Copies of this chain bind each other. A is one copy, B any other.
């Protein structure tokens, strides 16, 4: 018997039954890993059309030793929570079926992130279940904790949007920005954002060592950022050589001068009681600012800033693990809040040091 081999076993504490739909991809695997180590969730089923019948450990090494196998996504049992880790556009077509078997649905795709059909149509192509857009709650507890409690439908945030929103949010909350100011967001992301499989551009020889402009304009995560911060941003993404991680550098030009003290006040005000936000703004040592490798494998966001007096700029850094805080970890965190569980349950891992390109 190996550590981790009790995946799917009944937990001791208050038990919540769960099913993961679409469990063979990267975020699906991450969800399985988190639920297996969670004190409250009991994993009932994991579906995957392409891997049905195979053991979850044959696809996801952290689950080696588990007896759990992928099943076809039909005739699912009733559970308390259904997590959907399917590609964009799938959940919207099955959302009614989901609610027939589950009280709470947490969707990790982009299908329910935006609030109106008009917004969705602007950035994506035609929504199949627009009536759910209004009721769905965005999964980021730091900006939406109150509404998550008891929510039926939870929409996991986009990873780049999550990093950006967490970086900029305190500036808006504390009136340093009001909307309309110039904001340039330059994001660096790892290869797991492309999902399992991948094509030529994701092959190791072509992808390793890159600083590759990716969606330099028109990135869909802009929609989420602008929805939650109520301002427009100039957003660009670059693929860099790591597997996990998203790092947002936000170049912000406030209309009035601001001091470092005011910035600290804004960020501490928003985040000092947040269990998953860690400030890193200056100081000594190697790790002075947020870095994706410092949060790899964790549900933490690191946030920090520097002030450039010469051009009246605030440079805000935020770093997350795109698979965790940017996806599966955020989903579990939101589910914890929605169901009234301990917020940090199953998400206590604080990272590794040193760690290479995570």
Contacts and interface: CB of A to CB of B under 8 A. Distances in A.
Interface of A: 1-4, 26, 29-30, 33, 36-37, 58-65, 182, 184, 186, 188, 190-192, 194, 196-198, 200-213, 216-218, 232-234, 236, 238, 240-245, 247, 249, 251, 253, 272-278, 280, 283-294, 296-300, 304, 306-308, 310-311, 313, 315, 317, 319, 323, 344, 347-358
A249 B272 contact: no
A249 B275 contact: no
Contacts of A59: 285
A40 to B, nearest CB: 16
Given A251-B236, A310-B232, A3 B276 contact: yes
B216 A186 contact: no
A297 B300 contact: no
Contacts of A241: 208-209, 240-242, 356-357
B285 A211 contact: no
A205 B354 contact: yes
A304 B299 CA distance: 32
Contacts of A293: 209-211
A353 B191 contact: no
A92 to B, nearest CB: 25
A2 B209 contact: no
Contacts of A60: 353
Nearest to A60: B353
A205 B217 contact: no
**How many monomers of this protein are in the complex?**
4
Contacts of A247: 211, 238
A300 B201 contact: no
A258 to B, nearest CB: 14
B2 A354 contact: no
Contacts of A284: 58
Given A202-B203, A317-B213, A251 B234 contact: yes
A300 to B, nearest CB: 7
A304 to B, nearest CB: 8
A32 to B, nearest CB: 10
A201 B3 contact: no
A275 to B, nearest CB: 5
25 contacts: A2-B276, A3-B344, A58-B283, A64-B280, A64-B294, A182-B182, A188-B211, A191-B204, A191-B205, A191-B356, A194-B205, A196-B354, A198-B204, A203-B204, A203-B207, A211-B240, A211-B292, A213-B304, A213-B315, A217-B307, A234-B251, A234-B311, A243-B354, A243-B356, A297-B297
